[in-house]
Structure 1
Amino acid sequence: MSRHPDKKVPPVAHPTEREEPLPSQHPKPPAEDPLAPQRIKAILNSASARRADLDLDFIASAPLRGLRLQLDYLKPELCLTDAGINNSIVVFGSTRLCEPSAARRTVTTLKAALEDEPGDEDLKRRLSVAERILENSRYYDVAREFGRLVSETNKKPEGPHCTVVTGGGPGIMEAANRGAFDAGENSVGLNISLPHEQYPNPYITPGLCFNFHYFAMRKLHFMKRARALVACPGGFGTFDELFEALTLVQTRKIKPIPIVLVGEAYWKAAVNIDFLAAEGVIAPEDKNLFWYAETAEEIWNGILHWYDKSGKPLSAY
């Protein structure tokens, strides 16, 4: 049906521009009040005049903690959902366990320094630690190979389809992300903001690296999609994440998931689980919430076997 112009209908207004500016679009002129520009500048520079969503000092204030917690949760949640990441394999481990070639260079450098200063006790201590790191750097290779194995499985139509997730830092975390990178697959890094500057490892998929303010929200996202947790040798941070996961499973706050400790000799020296059971502070059945493994194949096959025993496929658990 044809439409005829209706002279009663005014022209459509421009969505942003006006023919005649509103009075508020121009400050009060100095001709009317010489001090007006100075006063306006002071007003606009005051904290109250900043728009709330652009006022970083306001957002960082104590009363806004609840909002910051929501933002810390929501941004990664939306991004991970948009990326189609529903199932993850979480890998933890020390930031200090670098790749073997780097560990070897450190040992060589310290040995040369000690030859020049044979009585330096601090150099001896540092060399001893460096030699232990070199010995344990084999776990970098294990984590890298494990990341590759998990990621290669994603290419098979039958799956299972899981994404490697780490804390985003160097060492063991870098290795797991690097394994996914080697396979040409995505991986996630959940970094945490700290007082000192830090960088993500270079093998995280761009767009899947997140920087959390709160450890609590970071922990939530580690576990929310986790279908298994793999803990390589590590320190306080690794223990923190490991024992929180064990507590969640022990209390059945979450459904049981495979928890694998890589490096039996390390973990048995670091934590005496048998002692805890003998002292009665954990139940004997809690010793079965995890198991030990040494190689990437052993870790991955153990996880798949666990799911076979559970009666549900890994991707649908």
Structure 2
Amino acid sequence: MSSGNDDAVTEPDRPERGAWPERRLGPVVKRRAQVESSTTDQRLLDTQGPVDWLHEDPWRVMRIQSEFVEGFGALAELGPAISVFGSARTPRDSLEYEAGMRIGRGLVEAGYAVITGGGPGAMEAANRGACEAHGVSVGLGIELPFEQGLNEYVDVGVNFRYFFVRKTMFVKYSQGFVVLPGGFGTMDELFEALTLVQTRKVTRFPIVLFGTAYWQGLRDWLLDSVVAQGKATTRDLGLLHITDDVDEAIALVCKGTP
């Protein structure tokens, strides 16, 4: 006899709790649809397999780590150094380019290696001055959609994928910054350094802005708006030194460094 429940809808079978597909990757647990069908070494050795894993965040962490390792390894024995920043668009026949060369040369004569972003313009000028003075000329390049490459006056060059790794190298291996007129990238590096000094993440780190006509407006705005509204103090503003004199710029940036 029929029980009368022949037409009832039955719930599909569900696996027991321990029957779900599961894979452990160190501290990471993946289950159900998140379990991959291949292992890490299979994906490494099978050149015909999928390569999407190369673009996943865990792999990016390894790339970031490798950039730090390469940067530290290349610069650990550099010795005292000063970073010189400025626009990649500075023409070679300009007074700014000439000033960059003189600054690079003067820093070498003062006993420092010269570090730049490794590109053209003001960066090339400082590298050129250091190279022609037979000093150590360093370029820390960055991967960009529009390729620049390291200028020909770089003796030690490291190319980075990530801006934040590159900026760490500038601060870690420099005893101060000289900043020539530049655009957003130059200002990014300038305010990164200012923030680190203001918050005392780094100490004894002079910052010199070269070119009064270019930088005075920025300083005036900081004073009239930022300081005036209590967002910073006059002491913070005193972290910046502005000059048009190459010898003074070198003296200021070398003052107080080890």
Instruction: Give me the TM-score of the superposition, normalised by structure 2.
Output: 0.77
One of 223, 244, 252 as aligned partner of 1:294: 244
One of 72, 96, 106 as aligned partner of 1:139: 96
Matched residues, number: 214
Provide the C-alpha distance between the structure 2 equivalents of 1:213 and 1:280, rounded to a whole number of angstroms.
37
Q: Does 1:69 align with 2:64?
A: yes
Q: Does 1:263 align with 2:211?
A: yes
Provide the C-alpha distance between the structure 2 equivalents of 1:183 and 1:49, rounded to a whole number of angstroms.
47
For each residue in 1:24-68, what CA deviation from the matched residue of structure 2 results, as whole angstroms up to 9, or x when unmatched? xxxxxxxxxxxxxxxxxxxxxx9725279xx98644432212111
Q: Which residue pairs with 1:153 in the alignment?
A: 110
One of 50, 60, 75 as aligned partner of 1:80: 75
Matched AA of 2:207: I
The structure whose residues are more often strand, as a share, is: 2
- Cα offset, 1:270, TM superposition: 3.9
Provide the C-alpha distance between the structure 2 equivalents of 1:80 and 1:298, rounded to a whole number of angstroms.
27
Q: Which residue pairs with 1:273 in the alignment?
A: 222
Q: Which residue pairs with 1:232 in the alignment?
A: 180
Q: What is the RMSD of the two structures over their aligned residues, measured on CA atoms?
A: 2.1
Provide the C-alpha distance between the structure 1 equivalents of 2:146 and 2:42, rounded to a whole number of angstroms.
27
The structure whose residues are more often helix, as a share, is: 1
Partner secondary structure for residue 175 of structure 2: strand
Provide the C-alpha distance between the structure 2 equivalents of 1:165 and 1:60, rounded to a whole number of angstroms.
31
Judging changes above 3 Å, is the alpha-carbon distance between structure 1 residues 86 and 57 closer, same or farther for their aligned structure 2 residues?
A: farther
Judging changes above 3 Å, is the alpha-carbon distance between structure 1 residues 58 and 264 closer, same or farther for their aligned structure 2 residues?
A: same
Judging changes above 3 Å, is the alpha-carbon distance between structure 1 residues 78 and 56 closer, same or farther for their aligned structure 2 residues?
A: farther
Matched AA of 2:230: G
Q: Does 1:169 align with 2:125?
A: no
Judging changes above 3 Å, is the alpha-carbon distance between structure 1 residues 204 and 61 closer, same or farther for their aligned structure 2 residues?
A: same
Provide the C-alpha distance between the structure 2 equivalents of 1:289 and 1:141, rounded to a whole number of angstroms.
26
Q: Which residue pairs with 2:83 in the alignment?
A: 90
- Cα offset, 1:256, TM superposition: 3.4
Q: Is the 8 A contact 1:93 1:238 kept in 2?
A: yes
Provide the C-alpha distance between the structure 2 equivalents of 1:209 and 1:173, rounded to a whole number of angstroms.
13
Instruction: Give me the TM-score of the superposition, normalised by structure 1.
Output: 0.63
Q: Which residue pairs with 2:162 in the alignment?
A: 214
Judging changes above 3 Å, is the alpha-carbon distance between structure 1 residues 285 and 147 closer, same or farther for their aligned structure 2 residues?
A: same
Q: Is the 8 A contact 1:166 1:188 kept in 2?
A: yes
Partner secondary structure for residue 226 of structure 1: coil
Percent of residue pairs bearing the same amino acid type: 40
Q: Is the 8 A contact 2:120 2:148 kept in 1?
A: no
Provide the C-alpha distance between the structure 2 equivalents of 1:189 and 1:165, rounded to a whole number of angstroms.
6
Judging changes above 3 Å, is the alpha-carbon distance between structure 1 residues 62 and 150 closer, same or farther for their aligned structure 2 residues?
A: same
Provide the C-alpha distance between the structure 2 equivalents of 1:249 and 1:187, rounded to a whole number of angstroms.
25
